Structures are given as structure tokens and as C-alpha cells.
Amino acid sequence: MSTAVRIAYDDLDLPLVVVVGGGFAGLELIQQLDGKPYKVLLLDKQNHHCFHPLLYQVATASLSADSIAHPFRRTVAPMRNVAFRMACATAVDPVRKVVITDHGEFPYDILVLATGSRTNFFGNSAIGSGAMRLKSISQALDIRSDFLQDFEAALYAQDETDQRRCLNFTIVGAGPTGVELAGALAEIKNTVLKREYRELHSDRMRIWLVDSNDRVLAHFSEQSSANALRYLRELGVEVRFRARVTGFDGRMITFQDGSTMESNTLIWAAGVKGRLIPGLEAGADIAASRYRVDRFNQIEGVPDVFALGDVALMREGSWERGHPQVAPAAVQQARTLAENLVRRAKGRPMRPFTYRDKGSMATIGRYKAVVDLGRFHFGGIVAWLTWMFVHLMALVGFRNRVVVLFNWAWKYLSWKNTIRLIIRPYVPKKAPVEDPIA
């Protein structure tokens, strides 16, 4: 059945663009289509945009959840031709041209999928049901509660073995998320645990960073990778290369070589895959978990349906395996698609998309970061300040920028992670491997 919800702009006699997903690509697209000759409807299972690059700081008690989130309705409110509905997309019917959601069906003239990515466990459901992940604010809050509860539980541990298991944190995946999370936890060990949990031996807390590659930040330059590894080791992070995790039961981690490690906490940051929606299998590359799109971001073989960002697989030039699943690629694709939709409305030919690699950066604790910008690779405090400025300016909303800047200033001047409240106790449970779509 069609949805009974009436959209406020129904009086506009314009083609309807439905955008599924309000991440970097979806949010950029609706902003670019503001005032353009289309009606636009944004669908998302949440009522807010989340700034994913700073999720690890929410997980490690440096930032509050609301400082990296922005309500969609605050963005959409001034836009006469744009509306928002909180709904979870469950399927697409390209023949009838409708998006099926948990709140009914939404028709479209043009559909844009910007559903983003989810954690990739590479088919290992045993790990997927027990490991923690970091792809949403609720998951970041779970990690925060988990390590704070483990600190408290360590005080009650009956022997050293139990205490060490409570204080043993293992992160799988040495990409930017894993490296940044490991560095933040190491700083907590060196400051908070040492100062505020005086009954504990802080050296019993161990942070492990595990990866199947032979270096951290494998997609960065060798210089930045080497600098990042040095910074991690200076902070006390223990890095284990060429190691593949095959099992986790909540107390014991098992590796492919048969070795084991006792730990209550396993955080999986080893990879992502696109969120595909049932109904568009004809244009999907199942192995890559992304939609095959042409240079205009239209899904191959599916008229009037486009895909952006993490879920789009566009082969262009040297990008034979698709563009990197990062925010700059998503934003660039959204801007080009918005321009092309306006050209289409005017009867003009669309222009093919060309990706411009603006570099990579990652931070590894206070005054430590690495930046790759073309032929320039640098680290240390200059890279750290560059990382802070870029992420601060990329936040959505002036309020969020002010709040984050204030929190950073307080943290780095006082050496304190201020938001260490166990508001919602984390209870380990068998979590589903797959999350809702969008």
C-alpha cells in the first residue's frame, strides 16, 4: 500500500527525488538540491546525521554524542522543496518505482541510494555476534560503557588473571578507525586509569591492535605508516601483524594459527561493506556488496536509480575496484549528481564524475597524527593541528563546531576525558551480524 503520509510540498508540480540515507552523500545531495526544480524526500532510520570520523572520541569519553550529531529537521526546515521522514527502507520495487519501508511505500521519480556501509565480518558470524563495532552513536556509547564497566569490574577481580582479562582490550583492524581508537584508549590508560584507579596496576591494562597486514594504515604512504606505528608504540599499544582472528566467545579470542588471548572486549574495525537493499540485485556486485554504477552514478540496468558513496562501485581510471569508501568521495559524488540532475531538468547532457583524491589523515593521540597530501607526507604536531582543523570544519552545524572545540580545548589543557559516566550500562549480548539498512 502507498504511504498515507502527506508531504508538505505536495503542491509543487515537480519530479520527486527520494534519497535513502542521510550520511555524508545523502546530506550533501539534499543541500545541493535546495531550491532546485525537484521535490526531495530524505528517508533515514535515524532522525540525525552522525559525523562518523569522530565516533571513536564518543566511544572513549572525549566528546558527547550530541556534539557529533545534527538533527535532519533542523537542516531541512528552511528548505521549501525538501522534506524528511524517519523510516527504515526494507526494499525497492523498480518496476512500480516505490521504496518500501517500515512505514509504508514511498513513490519516486528518481531514487538515490546513499545507504552507506556496515561492518564487514567477512562471513564469520561467530565473531559478528560477539564483537563490538563502531558504526553508530549507540555502538560508540556501548564501547564507552564497556570499558568503564571493565575498569570497575577489575577492582573486584579475585586474582590477577581475572583482572588482566578485564583490562585487556583488543581492536581488530589497523585502518584509521582502529589506529585512532587504540591511541585514545592508550591515553586513557596513561592518564585516567593511573590517576583515578589507584588501586589498580595500570600496567595490567593492555591495548592490542591486530591486523592481517604487515603494517598499520596500509593504504597510507610508507612514511606515514611507519610514523603511526612509532606513535602507537610510544603510547604503549601492542601491535600484532599478520594475525587473523577466527573466534571470540566473550572471554577468549582465537587466532587462525591456533593461539588464544583472554579478553572481555573485542572491537572489530577490520572492514566495511555497502548496505544493499533487496530489489536491486540486477545492479549489485554481491562480492563487493556495492552497486555497479556508471560515471553518472546511475545503477547499471536500473533506470532512474542512482547510488552514492560507500554503496556505489564506480570503476574510473586507476580506481578499478571503485573509489575509497570515505567521506570526500561520497561528498564529491553527491555534488556532481546534484549538478547533473539540474542539467537533466534543463534537458542538458550530464557530465561524468571524476574523483579528486584530497589525501588521507589519522590521529594517534595528543600531538600525534599523520597526513598524506599528494606527494607531501608529514606527522607530529603540525599534522595533528591539520587533522583537528579539517574535522572541526567538516562538522555539520555551528553549535557542534563550538562544542567540539571547547571539549577539545578542555581535554588537551586539563589532560582529562570528562564524559566518563555510565549512563546506560552495557550488557553483552548476541548481536545480529546485519544492521537495519537505512
Q: Answer yes or no: are the C-beta atoms of 180 and 134 closer than 8 Å.
A: no
**Residue that has been written with the C-alpha cell 589498580 in this structure:** 200
Catalytic annotation on 238?
no
Three cell numbers written together for 237: 599499544
**Residue that has been written with the C-alpha cell 591495548 in this structure:** 207
Nearest to 203 by CA among 189, 188, 223, 221: 189
- Sequence-distant (6+) residues with CB within 8 A of 204 are 154, 160, 163, 164, 167
* First CA to last CA distance, the chain: 20
Q: Answer yes or no: are the C-beta atoms of 217 and 368 closer than 8 Å.
A: no
The C-alpha atoms of residue 436 and residue 438 are separated, in whole angstroms, by 6
The number of residues making up the chain comes to 438
Three cell numbers written together for 364: 594517534
Of the residues 105, 180, 234, 320, only one is catalytic, namely 180
Other C-beta atoms closer than 10 Å to the C-beta of 90 total 15
Q: Answer yes or no: are the C-beta atoms of 205 and 189 closer than 8 Å.
A: yes
Q: How far is CA 206 from the centre of its chain?
A: 25
The C-alpha atoms of residue 33 and residue 252 are separated, in whole angstroms, by 50
Render 301-360 in DSSP notation, one character per residue: T-TTEEE-GGGEE--BTTBTT-S-SSHHHHHHHHHHHHHHHHHHHTTPPP---------E
The C-alpha atoms of residue 316 and residue 306 are separated, in whole angstroms, by 16
The C-alpha atoms of residue 351 and residue 73 are separated, in whole angstroms, by 31
The C-alpha atoms of residue 202 and residue 323 are separated, in whole angstroms, by 42
Active site residues: 180
